[in-house]
């Protein structure tokens, strides 16, 4: 059983390290933000289309680019953004399914 869990953990880690997510970095104001604050995930085809349109309308030095971010770093960015915006309970809620934490946190109805 331990060997199976270890194998599954290694497989998930290898998948997260080898897969990537494409972030659209629009430059300008958002480029000054930390990476976890400017999450804008697009597909590779959509990003190529945006780059073509930006080059055609804004010129070659427009500052818009696509960054390939490893999947594990994307997960860390989502966790950091969630923590910054709503705190630790939001991260726990999204990981544990939300419904159990929401129902446990709701006040008991009064018996008046």
Residue spans per domain, the chain = 19-88
- 88, β-bridge pairs: none
Q: What is the pLDDT of residues 21-55, one digit of tens each?
A: 888 877 666 666 777 677 778 888 998 998 899 89
Q: Do residues 89 and 101 make contact, with C-beta atoms less than 8 angstroms apart?
A: yes
- Please say if the pLDDT value at position 66 is more than 80: yes
H or E element: which one contains 105?
Answer: helix 99-105
Q: What's this model's pTM, rounded to 2 decimal places?
A: 0.59
The encoded tokens of residue 7 equal: 């194998």
Q: In whole angstroms, what is the distance from residue 92 CA to residue 88 CA?
A: 6
pLDDT higher than threshold 50 for residue 105: no
Residue 7 pLDDT exceeds 80: yes
Cβ 71 vs Cβ 16: under 8 Å: yes
Q: How far apart are the first and last CA of the chain?
A: 53
Instruction: Give me the pLDDT at residue 49, please.
Output: 93
The confidence score (pLDDT) of residue 36 equals 67
């Amino acid at each position: 059983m331990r060997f199976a869990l270890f194998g599954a953990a290694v497989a998930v880690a290898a998948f997260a390290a080898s897969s990537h997510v494409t972030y659209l970095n629009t430059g300008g104001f958002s480029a000054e933000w930390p990476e976890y604050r400017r999450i804008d995930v697009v597909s590779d085809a959509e990003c190529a289309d945006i780059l073509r349109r930006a080059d055609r309308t804004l010129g070659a030095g427009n500052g818009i680019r696509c960054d390939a971010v490893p999947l594990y770093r994307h997960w860390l960015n989502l966790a950091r953004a969630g923590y910054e915006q709503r705190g630790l309970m939001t991260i726990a809620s999204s990981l544990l399914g939300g419904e159990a934490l929401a129902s446990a946190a709701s006040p008991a109805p009064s018996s008046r």
